[in-house]
Amino acid sequence: MKEVGLINRNLAKIVAEQGHQDLLMVVDAGFPIPLGVETIDISLSENKPVVLDVLTELKKFYSVEKMIIAKETKLTNPTLFNKISHVWENITDIEVVDHSELKQISKNVKAVIRTGDFTAYGNVILVSGAGERWYCENKTE
């Protein structure tokens, strides 16, 4: 029986299937998830869990090189935007797009994790990247 790490079997499977530059999305309770996109619904009730909780847990097991967040998140809920932006401390590449464009990009994600978050525009697309475990004799910038 798995008792450590990501114990949600569907979430653990999705994280294990991510490759370099694959897209994984964490969304609030109301995000219109495109038909056909694999969805892991972990919502329990209002604000349980919230997007930030899921991101904080994912950080332990998932390497991210870029985030895509809606401009409306930054305008409507700047505190959430800042908290999301700083979950992965080493990420400086944060792309801000219109919410309508975020919905278009969501059609290309490998999976969506739906939360119970009722914070407006609480959605983020994570672009997987190589973590610090990768060996590079010479780093190129």
What is the rounded CA–CA span in Å between residue 80 and residue 95? 15
User: Could you give the C-alpha distances from 133 to 12, 35, 48, 67, 82, in angstroms and in order?
Assistant: 19, 35, 32, 20, 27
Q: Where are the beta strands (DSSP E) in 9-140?
A: 23-27, 38-41, 64-70, 94-97, 111-114, 124-128
Residue 42: closest CA among 120, 118, 123, 112: 112
Task: From the candidates 7, 16, 17, 20, give the one annotated as an active-site residue.
Answer: 20
Active site residue 20: yes
Residue 110: closest CA among 6, 5, 11, 9: 11
Q: Which residues are catalytic?
A: 20
